Amino acid sequence: MVMPNGMSGAQLAGRLRDQNPRLKAILISGYSPDLLDADAEQLKSVRMRMKPFTHEKITETIREVLDAPDAD
């Protein structure tokens, strides 16, 4: 979620989605969900995974995102 040059992960996902609306994304953060960028809430079909997580949990999240129907 936190990236250099003042851009958030949610903003990057939004820009990439503008180029490819079928893009699937997972945002990962170690910050409290209360502190996360408000832009993330606008990306309803983007999954969020909070750190720390196990290999099993991130694998499960990836599988869920890949198997989900494309956002319209």
Per-residue pLDDT of the chain (72 residues; tens, 9 = 90+): 667 788 888 888 888 989 998 889 898 888 766 655 555 566 666 788 889 999 999 999 999 999 988 765
Q: What is the C-alpha to C-alpha distance for residues 65 and 38, in angstroms, rounded to an integer?
A: 21
Max CA separation in the chain (angstroms): 33
DSSP category for residue 56: H
Q: What is the C-alpha to C-alpha distance for residues 6 and 24, in angstroms, rounded to an integer?
A: 22
pLDDT at 63: 95
In the block, tokens 């720390």 appear at: 52
pTM (2 d.p.): 0.72
DSSP category for residue 27: E
Contact (CB, 8 A) for 2 and 28: no
Domain locations along the chain: 4-67
